[in-house]
Amino acid sequence: MGQRDRDPRRHPWWDHVPASQRTTTLWRRRWQLLRAALSTQSTKIVVTFLVYGAFTLAIASSGVGAMGALTLIPLVVLPALAGLAWWLTWKEFHH
C-alpha cells in the first residue's frame, strides 16, 4: 500500500470529517499504522535485534570487556544452533 493510500486526507470521506476531529483522526490513523507495522513478525525480530545490539554496544562501550564479550556469544552461537536444529530435523524427516 503506497503512502497516498495511507493518508486519510486524500480519501473521499475526509470532506465529511468535522474540522474539530481532523487532528485526532490523523493521529489515530498514524497510531493504527504504527501498531500494524509493529505487529508483524519480521518487525518484532528486527526490533529485538536492535534492542539487543544497543544493549551490547552499551555494555561494550562502558569498558567492561568480559561482559561485552559475553553479550556477543548469543549473536554468534544462536544462528549456528538454529542451523543445526534445522538440519537435524530435515535429516530426521527425509531419511
For residue 94, give its domain range: 18-95
Residue 33: inside a domain: yes
Q: Name the percent of the chain lying above pLDDT 70.
A: 91
Residue 3: inside a domain: no
pTM over 0.75: no
pLDDT digits (tens, 9 = 90+) for 30-76: 898 888 888 888 888 888 888 888 887 777 777 776 776 777 777 77
Residue 2: predicted pLDDT: 57
Q: How many domains does the chain have?
A: 1
Please tell me the distance from the alpha carbon of residue 75 to that of residue 89, in angstroms, as a whole number. Answer: 22
Q: How confident is the model at residue 11 (pLDDT cuts 50, 70, 90)?
A: confident
Residue 71: inside a domain: yes
Burial of 23 (0-12, 13-18, 19+ CB in 10 A): exposed
